[in-house]
Amino acid sequence: MDTAYVYDPVYLEHDFPGHPENANRLRRILSTLKAEGMLARLRLLEPRPATVEELQRVHTSAHVGRVQRVAEAGGGFLDPDTYATPGSFDAALMAAGGVIRAVEAVLAGDVANGFALVRPPGHHATATRAMGFCLFNNVAVAAKAALAAGQVERIFITDFDVHHGNGTQDTFAADPAVFYFSTHQYPHYPGSGHWSETGTGAGTGTVLNAPLPAYVGDKGYARIFAELVWPLAERFHPDLLLVSAGYDAHWSDPLAQMNLSLAGYAWLQREIVALARALCRGRVVFALEGGYELDVLAYGVLNGFYAMLGEDTLVDPRGPSPHPERPIDDLVAHLKEAHGLD
Protein backbone atom coordinates (compact mmCIF):
# COMPACT_ATOMS: atom_id res chain seq x y z
CA MET A 1 0.00 0.00 0.00
CA ASP A 2 0.96 3.61 -0.51
CA THR A 3 2.40 6.08 1.95
CA ALA A 4 0.32 9.25 1.79
CA TYR A 5 0.69 12.93 2.48
CA VAL A 6 -2.00 15.50 3.15
CA TYR A 7 -1.61 18.98 1.72
CA ASP A 8 -3.71 21.87 0.45
CA PRO A 9 -2.64 25.41 -0.58
CA VAL A 10 -5.05 26.82 2.00
CA TYR A 11 -2.40 26.03 4.61
CA LEU A 12 -0.29 28.85 3.15
CA GLU A 13 -3.08 31.38 3.78
CA HIS A 14 -2.24 31.33 7.49
CA ASP A 15 0.85 33.51 7.28
CA PHE A 16 2.54 36.31 9.19
CA PRO A 17 5.94 37.14 7.65
CA GLY A 18 8.61 37.52 10.31
CA HIS A 19 6.80 35.24 12.75
CA PRO A 20 8.64 31.96 13.40
CA GLU A 21 5.57 29.94 12.37
CA ASN A 22 4.99 31.23 8.84
CA ALA A 23 4.09 29.76 5.46
CA ASN A 24 7.72 29.44 4.37
CA ARG A 25 8.00 26.43 6.67
CA LEU A 26 5.63 24.42 4.53
CA ARG A 27 6.94 25.85 1.26
CA ARG A 28 10.43 24.64 2.17
CA ILE A 29 9.16 21.18 3.09
CA LEU A 30 7.35 20.80 -0.22
CA SER A 31 10.21 22.12 -2.34
CA THR A 32 12.64 19.73 -0.63
CA LEU A 33 10.34 16.74 -1.01
CA LYS A 34 9.97 17.55 -4.71
CA ALA A 35 13.69 18.11 -5.26
CA GLU A 36 14.54 14.81 -3.58
CA GLY A 37 12.02 12.91 -5.71
CA MET A 38 9.87 12.04 -2.71
CA LEU A 39 6.56 13.64 -3.75
CA ALA A 40 6.41 11.42 -6.85
CA ARG A 41 6.56 8.36 -4.59
CA LEU A 42 3.67 9.39 -2.35
CA ARG A 43 -0.10 9.48 -2.65
CA LEU A 44 -1.74 12.87 -2.14
CA LEU A 45 -4.78 12.92 0.13
CA GLU A 46 -6.86 16.05 -0.25
CA PRO A 47 -8.13 17.27 3.13
CA ARG A 48 -11.63 18.35 4.02
CA PRO A 49 -12.60 20.85 6.73
CA ALA A 50 -13.28 19.57 10.21
CA THR A 51 -16.91 19.92 11.16
CA VAL A 52 -18.16 21.95 14.10
CA GLU A 53 -19.11 18.71 15.84
CA GLU A 54 -15.60 17.32 15.39
CA LEU A 55 -13.99 20.50 16.74
CA GLN A 56 -16.32 20.66 19.72
CA ARG A 57 -15.28 17.22 20.94
CA VAL A 58 -12.05 19.02 21.93
CA HIS A 59 -12.80 22.78 21.94
CA THR A 60 -15.59 24.88 23.39
CA SER A 61 -17.96 26.64 21.02
CA ALA A 62 -16.73 29.95 22.46
CA HIS A 63 -13.15 29.14 21.43
CA VAL A 64 -14.14 28.07 17.91
CA GLY A 65 -16.27 31.20 17.55
CA ARG A 66 -13.50 33.49 18.71
CA VAL A 67 -11.02 32.14 16.17
CA GLN A 68 -13.63 32.59 13.44
CA ARG A 69 -14.54 36.13 14.50
CA VAL A 70 -10.93 37.32 14.69
CA ALA A 71 -10.16 35.90 11.26
CA GLU A 72 -13.31 37.35 9.69
CA ALA A 73 -12.54 40.75 11.22
CA GLY A 74 -9.22 40.84 9.35
CA GLY A 75 -7.00 38.98 11.80
CA GLY A 76 -5.07 39.81 14.95
CA PHE A 77 -3.32 38.16 17.85
CA LEU A 78 -5.19 35.57 19.91
CA ASP A 79 -2.41 35.60 22.51
CA PRO A 80 1.03 37.27 22.50
CA ASP A 81 2.52 34.46 20.38
CA THR A 82 -0.43 33.33 18.28
CA TYR A 83 -1.81 35.19 15.29
CA ALA A 84 -4.78 34.86 12.99
CA THR A 85 -5.11 36.29 9.49
CA PRO A 86 -8.21 36.49 7.28
CA GLY A 87 -7.41 33.01 5.96
CA SER A 88 -6.54 31.40 9.29
CA PHE A 89 -9.95 30.01 10.24
CA ASP A 90 -10.34 28.15 6.95
CA ALA A 91 -6.74 26.92 7.18
CA ALA A 92 -7.28 25.73 10.75
CA LEU A 93 -10.47 23.87 9.80
CA MET A 94 -8.57 22.15 7.00
CA ALA A 95 -5.60 21.41 9.26
CA ALA A 96 -7.74 19.53 11.75
CA GLY A 97 -9.73 17.95 8.94
CA GLY A 98 -6.52 17.00 7.16
CA VAL A 99 -5.32 14.88 10.06
CA ILE A 100 -8.78 13.29 10.27
CA ARG A 101 -8.58 12.53 6.54
CA ALA A 102 -5.22 10.79 6.95
CA VAL A 103 -6.49 8.76 9.90
CA GLU A 104 -9.61 7.71 8.00
CA ALA A 105 -7.53 6.57 5.01
CA VAL A 106 -5.15 4.54 7.18
CA LEU A 107 -7.92 2.91 9.19
CA ALA A 108 -9.86 2.07 6.01
CA GLY A 109 -6.77 0.36 4.59
CA ASP A 110 -6.59 2.75 1.64
CA VAL A 111 -2.99 3.68 2.52
CA ALA A 112 -0.38 2.12 4.77
CA ASN A 113 0.47 5.28 6.70
CA GLY A 114 0.60 9.00 6.19
CA PHE A 115 1.97 12.41 7.10
CA ALA A 116 -0.41 15.39 7.38
CA LEU A 117 1.59 18.43 6.23
CA VAL A 118 -0.77 20.88 7.85
CA ARG A 119 -0.68 24.38 9.30
CA PRO A 120 -1.39 25.99 11.70
CA PRO A 121 0.03 23.49 14.21
CA GLY A 122 -2.06 22.23 17.07
CA HIS A 123 -0.64 20.58 20.18
CA HIS A 124 -0.72 23.65 22.45
CA ALA A 125 -4.36 24.55 21.72
CA THR A 126 -6.58 23.80 24.72
CA ALA A 127 -10.33 23.48 24.99
CA THR A 128 -10.68 27.22 25.52
CA ARG A 129 -7.54 28.85 24.21
CA ALA A 130 -5.33 29.34 21.16
CA MET A 131 -1.69 29.50 22.24
CA GLY A 132 1.85 28.63 21.23
CA PHE A 133 1.19 29.28 17.51
CA CYS A 134 -1.73 26.78 17.63
CA LEU A 135 -5.41 27.45 16.86
CA PHE A 136 -7.12 24.03 17.00
CA ASN A 137 -5.58 20.83 18.34
CA ASN A 138 -5.32 18.85 15.12
CA VAL A 139 -4.11 15.55 16.59
CA ALA A 140 -6.60 15.64 19.46
CA VAL A 141 -9.49 16.37 17.10
CA ALA A 142 -8.46 13.46 14.86
CA ALA A 143 -8.09 11.09 17.82
CA LYS A 144 -11.53 12.01 19.13
CA ALA A 145 -13.04 11.53 15.66
CA ALA A 146 -11.57 8.03 15.32
CA LEU A 147 -12.80 7.04 18.76
CA ALA A 148 -16.25 8.51 18.18
CA ALA A 149 -16.59 6.61 14.91
CA GLY A 150 -15.79 3.34 16.67
CA GLN A 151 -12.83 2.76 14.36
CA VAL A 152 -10.41 2.15 17.23
CA GLU A 153 -10.52 1.55 20.97
CA ARG A 154 -7.05 2.73 22.02
CA ILE A 155 -4.75 5.39 20.55
CA PHE A 156 -1.11 6.07 21.44
CA ILE A 157 0.04 9.66 20.77
CA THR A 158 3.77 10.38 20.49
CA ASP A 159 4.82 14.04 20.66
CA PHE A 160 8.49 14.70 19.88
CA ASP A 161 8.18 18.47 19.47
CA VAL A 162 10.62 20.28 21.76
CA HIS A 163 7.68 21.96 23.55
CA HIS A 164 5.26 20.04 25.74
CA GLY A 165 1.87 19.47 24.11
CA ASN A 166 -0.14 20.83 27.00
CA GLY A 167 -3.36 21.00 24.99
CA THR A 168 -3.18 17.35 23.96
CA GLN A 169 -2.38 16.24 27.50
CA ASP A 170 -5.26 18.30 28.92
CA THR A 171 -7.65 16.73 26.42
CA PHE A 172 -6.79 13.14 27.29
CA ALA A 173 -5.33 13.15 30.82
CA ALA A 174 -8.44 11.46 32.24
CA ASP A 175 -9.18 9.29 29.20
CA PRO A 176 -8.04 5.65 29.49
CA ALA A 177 -8.50 5.16 25.73
CA VAL A 178 -5.62 7.49 24.81
CA PHE A 179 -2.00 7.29 25.90
CA TYR A 180 -0.06 10.55 25.56
CA PHE A 181 3.73 10.51 25.47
CA SER A 182 5.92 13.61 25.17
CA THR A 183 9.62 14.36 25.08
CA HIS A 184 10.28 18.06 25.61
CA GLN A 185 12.81 20.55 26.92
CA TYR A 186 12.06 21.40 30.56
CA PRO A 187 11.70 23.92 31.99
CA HIS A 188 10.64 25.58 28.77
CA TYR A 189 7.45 26.86 27.14
CA PRO A 190 4.66 26.26 28.14
CA GLY A 191 5.94 25.11 31.57
CA SER A 192 3.90 21.91 31.85
CA GLY A 193 4.95 18.30 31.40
CA HIS A 194 6.69 17.33 34.65
CA TRP A 195 7.49 13.63 34.98
CA SER A 196 5.01 13.34 37.84
CA GLU A 197 2.11 14.22 35.48
CA THR A 198 0.93 10.70 34.63
CA GLY A 199 -2.81 11.21 34.03
CA THR A 200 -5.83 11.65 36.26
CA GLY A 201 -8.81 9.59 37.33
CA ALA A 202 -9.51 6.73 34.94
CA GLY A 203 -6.57 7.93 32.83
CA THR A 204 -3.96 7.54 35.56
CA GLY A 205 -0.89 5.92 34.03
CA THR A 206 -1.73 6.92 30.45
CA VAL A 207 0.53 10.00 30.32
CA LEU A 208 4.30 9.67 29.99
CA ASN A 209 6.20 12.94 30.18
CA ALA A 210 9.96 12.97 29.61
CA PRO A 211 10.92 16.51 30.70
CA LEU A 212 14.48 16.74 29.40
CA PRO A 213 17.06 19.29 30.44
CA ALA A 214 18.72 21.39 27.77
CA TYR A 215 21.36 19.62 25.65
CA VAL A 216 19.96 16.12 25.77
CA GLY A 217 20.46 14.61 22.32
CA ASP A 218 20.38 11.42 20.29
CA LYS A 219 21.54 9.04 23.04
CA GLY A 220 19.14 10.41 25.65
CA TYR A 221 16.14 10.27 23.31
CA ALA A 222 17.05 6.74 22.28
CA ARG A 223 17.20 5.70 25.92
CA ILE A 224 13.71 7.11 26.62
CA PHE A 225 12.31 5.10 23.72
CA ALA A 226 14.11 1.87 24.59
CA GLU A 227 13.51 1.86 28.34
CA LEU A 228 10.11 3.58 28.59
CA VAL A 229 8.19 4.01 25.35
CA TRP A 230 8.44 0.47 24.06
CA PRO A 231 7.40 -1.29 27.29
CA LEU A 232 4.59 1.18 28.02
CA ALA A 233 3.25 1.05 24.47
CA GLU A 234 3.35 -2.75 24.57
CA ARG A 235 1.44 -2.64 27.85
CA PHE A 236 -1.17 -0.26 26.40
CA HIS A 237 -1.40 -2.11 23.06
CA PRO A 238 -2.94 0.61 20.87
CA ASP A 239 -4.95 0.23 17.67
CA LEU A 240 -3.43 3.38 16.13
CA LEU A 241 -0.39 5.61 16.59
CA LEU A 242 -0.61 9.38 16.08
CA VAL A 243 2.50 11.55 16.06
CA SER A 244 2.86 15.26 16.82
CA ALA A 245 5.97 15.75 14.73
CA GLY A 246 8.01 18.79 15.70
CA TYR A 247 11.59 19.24 14.51
CA ASP A 248 12.60 22.02 16.91
CA ALA A 249 14.63 19.73 19.19
CA HIS A 250 17.42 19.83 16.60
CA TRP A 251 20.66 21.34 17.86
CA SER A 252 20.46 24.25 15.39
CA ASP A 253 16.83 25.27 15.99
CA PRO A 254 16.58 28.89 17.17
CA LEU A 255 13.74 28.38 19.68
CA ALA A 256 15.24 25.72 21.95
CA GLN A 257 18.51 24.27 23.25
CA MET A 258 18.36 20.55 22.60
CA ASN A 259 20.92 18.32 20.91
CA LEU A 260 19.06 16.07 18.49
CA SER A 261 20.59 15.61 15.05
CA LEU A 262 18.73 14.77 11.86
CA ALA A 263 20.16 11.26 12.22
CA GLY A 264 18.63 11.12 15.69
CA TYR A 265 15.29 12.31 14.38
CA ALA A 266 15.40 9.71 11.62
CA TRP A 267 16.06 6.99 14.20
CA LEU A 268 13.10 8.16 16.31
CA GLN A 269 10.80 8.09 13.31
CA ARG A 270 11.94 4.60 12.33
CA GLU A 271 11.29 3.46 15.91
CA ILE A 272 7.77 4.88 15.82
CA VAL A 273 7.06 3.10 12.52
CA ALA A 274 8.47 -0.12 14.00
CA LEU A 275 6.27 0.35 17.06
CA ALA A 276 3.22 0.70 14.84
CA ARG A 277 4.13 -2.42 12.89
CA ALA A 278 4.64 -4.40 16.08
CA LEU A 279 1.47 -3.28 17.83
CA CYS A 280 -1.18 -2.03 15.39
CA ARG A 281 -0.57 -3.39 11.89
CA GLY A 282 1.57 -0.42 10.94
CA ARG A 283 -1.20 2.13 11.36
CA VAL A 284 0.51 5.44 12.07
CA VAL A 285 -0.22 9.04 11.07
CA PHE A 286 2.26 11.89 11.56
CA ALA A 287 1.03 15.49 11.83
CA LEU A 288 3.29 18.50 11.46
CA GLU A 289 3.89 20.62 14.55
CA GLY A 290 7.00 22.82 15.14
CA GLY A 291 10.45 23.23 13.65
CA TYR A 292 11.90 26.62 12.77
CA GLU A 293 15.27 25.98 11.12
CA LEU A 294 13.91 25.47 7.62
CA ASP A 295 16.44 23.03 6.17
CA VAL A 296 16.30 20.88 9.30
CA LEU A 297 12.51 20.94 9.19
CA ALA A 298 12.39 19.91 5.55
CA TYR A 299 14.97 17.13 5.84
CA GLY A 300 13.40 15.92 9.06
CA VAL A 301 10.09 15.45 7.26
CA LEU A 302 11.87 13.84 4.29
CA ASN A 303 13.52 11.32 6.60
CA GLY A 304 10.13 10.68 8.17
CA PHE A 305 8.78 9.63 4.78
CA TYR A 306 11.77 7.32 4.26
CA ALA A 307 10.90 5.73 7.61
CA MET A 308 7.25 5.26 6.63
CA LEU A 309 8.35 3.68 3.35
CA GLY A 310 10.43 1.18 5.34
CA GLU A 311 13.77 2.52 4.12
CA ASP A 312 16.91 3.38 6.07
CA THR A 313 17.87 6.29 3.81
CA LEU A 314 19.13 9.27 5.78
CA VAL A 315 19.75 12.84 4.63
CA ASP A 316 21.62 14.87 7.25
CA PRO A 317 23.49 17.90 5.87
CA ARG A 318 23.96 19.37 9.38
CA GLY A 319 25.68 16.42 11.05
CA PRO A 320 25.97 15.70 14.78
CA SER A 321 25.59 18.30 17.50
CA PRO A 322 28.77 20.17 18.45
CA HIS A 323 27.63 20.29 22.10
CA PRO A 324 28.21 17.64 24.79
CA GLU A 325 25.12 15.69 25.78
CA ARG A 326 23.56 15.89 29.25
CA PRO A 327 22.94 12.61 31.13
CA ILE A 328 19.40 11.65 32.20
CA ASP A 329 19.97 8.82 34.68
CA ASP A 330 17.91 10.38 37.49
CA LEU A 331 15.01 11.22 35.17
CA VAL A 332 14.85 7.69 33.77
CA ALA A 333 14.82 6.29 37.32
CA HIS A 334 11.95 8.61 38.32
CA LEU A 335 9.96 7.68 35.21
CA LYS A 336 10.41 3.96 35.69
CA GLU A 337 9.25 4.19 39.28
CA ALA A 338 6.27 6.38 38.39
CA HIS A 339 5.13 3.94 35.69
CA GLY A 340 5.85 0.67 37.46
CA LEU A 341 8.77 -0.42 35.27
CA ASP A 342 11.75 -2.35 36.61
Question: pTM, whole model, 2 decimals?
Answer: 0.98
CATH of the domain at 288: 3.40.800.20
Q: How confident is the model at residue 342 (pLDDT cuts 50, 70, 90)?
A: confident
State how far the alpha carbon of 44 is from the alpha carbons of 6, 170, 190, 196, 272, in Å.
6, 32, 34, 41, 22
How far does the chain reach from its first CA to its final CA, in angstroms?
Answer: 39
What percentage of residues in the chain have a pLDDT greater than 90? 99
The alpha carbon of residue 292 and the mean position of all alpha carbons in its chain are separated, in whole angstroms, by: 14
User: pLDDT tens, 182-191?
Assistant: 999 999 999 9
| Full domain range(s) for residue 177 | 3-338
Average pLDDT over residues 264-289: 98
pLDDT digits over 202-212, tens only? 999 999 999 99
Mean pLDDT on 226-240:
98
> How many domains does the chain fold into?
1
Enzyme catalytic residues: 124
Overall average pLDDT of the 249-262 stretch? 97
Give residue 95's pLDDT: 99
